[in-house]
Amino acid sequence: MLLLVSRGIIEYMEKKEPKQPAYVEFFTPKDVGPRIWGREILVAHVPGLFTGKILLRKSDGGNKRSLQYHRVKDESAYLYSGEMWFYYIDEKNQVQRKKLVAGDSVHIPPGAIHSEEAITDCVIFEASNPVFNDRVRVNEKYGWPSPEGSLPSTTLDEVEIR
Architecture of domain 26-161: Sandwich (2.60)
CB 134 within 8 A of CB 73: yes
Q: Is the pLDDT of residue 102 over 90?
A: yes
**3: confidence class by pLDDT, cuts 50, 70, 90:** very low
* Dihedral sign from CA coordinates of 154, 32, 50, 91: negative
| Residue with more model confidence, 35 or 52 | 52
Residue boundaries of the structural domains of the chain: 26-161
% of the chain beyond a pLDDT of 70: 90
pLDDT score at 2: 42
CB 44 within 8 A of CB 26: no
- Chain-centre distance for alpha carbon 161: 14
36 Cβ neighbours under 8 A, 6+ residues apart: 147, 148, 149, 150
Average pLDDT over the chain reads 90
146 Cβ neighbours under 8 A, 6+ residues apart: 66, 137, 139, 140
100 Cβ neighbours under 8 A, 6+ residues apart: 79, 83, 84, 85, 86, 106
pLDDT score at 5: 47
Nearest to 54 by CA among 70, 43, 66: 43
122 Cβ neighbours under 8 A, 6+ residues apart: 55, 56, 57, 79, 80, 81, 82, 83, 84
